[in-house]
Amino acid sequence: MKRSILGMMLAAVAICGWAANGDNKLKVNLDIVDFGDTVVVVHSDKEETFTGKDGKFEFVLDVDKVFEAYFVQPKLMRGDTEDPRIFRIPIVGGEEVRLWQTNRERYDVDGTQFYADYHQVDLFNEEAAKGVLENTKKYREMRSADAVNEDACQKFIDEVFNPEVDRYHQKLLAYVKAHPKQEAAMMLVHSLEDLDLMKQGYDLLDTSVREGRLKPLYDKWVREAEQALEAEAKEKAAAKKQEAGVEAPLFTLNDLEGKPLALSSLCGKYVVLDFWGSWCVWCIKGFPKMKEYYAKYPGKFEILGVDCNDTQEKWKAAVQKHELPWKHVYCPDDATVLADYGVTGFPTKIIVGPDGKIVKTIVGEDPSFYTLLDELFGK
């Protein structure tokens, strides 16, 4: 199994469940190329460290719950991400598992019945996903070109990438249908990603598998998929509120002196609404450049800093510390401004035109914000 495949296709880190056959132990045997003498097993909120020699390890994991775990080198836990060695597999009690490598490019898993089947499932998944991975590589190359052709990129997604993903999903469904009583086939259901397809794949499994010891994995995947859909819906709703041409909602909040400051008082000029907080590292990092551009185009636009999720004391201290020369207001927790503008990330800068309509929304510290200011005021 290739590391990239495992990283793409397995997503849950901690999965609720119960141990098989009343046994809460998993015997683990690792033989990993160029790995070192220590392995850290990371799962849920727990880390366990085991020692071996030259990448060979034997140890036993307690499995009160079925979960998925990362096997990693200690250096990764220290923040060293150069050439990371990461392996992730489902952890099922009452079994034995062997993970081995013959070279650094791939690894394989087998063991007792569940893991022997899991090995076959994973090999099938790896072969089935080749087309998707090849197209992913091509798309990244298109996006990294010096001159990105957006129309060509979208055409590739519509006519090449998405159809290949559909074919991949159909291969997974066909495997599950052909192996309804194979417990490890449940792992392919997660790779279907789409909630409706996951339910379709789950329904193809035999009752003994659907209601067996891995059912909590499926339940967790469904919850995660539902949460992802909810988040996507919220993002779309927020995006609509921030679209160019939308009338900017009016609001009145208190300024540094505790006096009401209404957005309507700034109508007739360009206004940058800067949603920030003293706790936001990227907000703070962006201040020098903002101050530079505020001085570069004096009188051409106003900035209204809207401090969020903060205390008034920390807000005022941050404004003074960083010497921010523009107007500021404080957004209390019970205000509706964040919801009205669909703000979910910080910093968010929303440029409002003299007509009171939104010109552009930039989330994060993005150089395109300053490019737009140059386009608007550098003429």
What are 216-236's pLDDT values in tens digits? 889 989 999 999 999 888 888
Q: Quickly list H helices, 74-214.
A: 74-77, 113-128, 130-143, 150-156, 162-178, 186-191, 195-204, 207-210
Cα(363)–Cα(348) distance, integer angstroms: 4
Alpha-carbon span 274 to 252, nearest angstrom: 15
- Measured CA to CA, the distance from residue 226 to residue 220 in angstroms comes to 10
Give the HSE-up count for residue 337: Cα atoms under 13 Å, Cβ half-sphere.
Answer: 24
User: Model-level pTM?
Assistant: 0.67
What does the block give as tokens for 272?
């940058």
Domains of the chain: 3-233 (no CATH), 252-377 (3.40.30.10)
pLDDT digits 0-9 by tens, 310-327: 999 999 999 999 999 999
State which amino acid sits at residue 191.
Answer: S
∠ CA 11-17-18, nearest 5°, is: 145
Q: In which residue ranges of the chain is pLDDT below 70?
A: 1-22
- Strand 46-51: give its sheet, edge to edge: 46-51, 38-43, 67-72, 86-91
pLDDT for the residue 5? 35
Which pLDDT value is given to residue 1? 53
The per-residue pLDDT for 84 is 83
Place of tokens 């979910």: 344
Question: Distance (Å, rounded) from C-alpha 320 to C-alpha 292?
Answer: 17
Task: Name the strand (E) or helix (H) holding 39.
Answer: strand 38-43
Q: What is the DSSP string of 251-308?
A: -EEEETTS-EEEGGGGTTSEEEEEEE-TT-HHHHHHHHHHHHHHHHSTTTEEEEEEE-
Determine how many CB atoms are found less than 10 A away from the CB of residue 70. 16
Listed in sequence order, the residues at least 6 apart from 303 whose beta carbon sits closer than 8 Å to its beta carbon are: 271, 272, 274, 290, 294, 326, 327
Phi-psi region of 55 (alpha: psi -120 to 50; beta: other; left: phi over 0): left
- The size of the chain, in residues, is 379
- CA 276/CA 330 separation, integer angstroms: 10
Type and span of the H or E element at 231: helix 215-241
Distance CA 214, CA 187 (A): 9
pLDDT tens sequence across 15-61: 333 333 447 899 999 999 999 999 999 987 789 999 999 999 999 99
pLDDT given at position 339 = 92
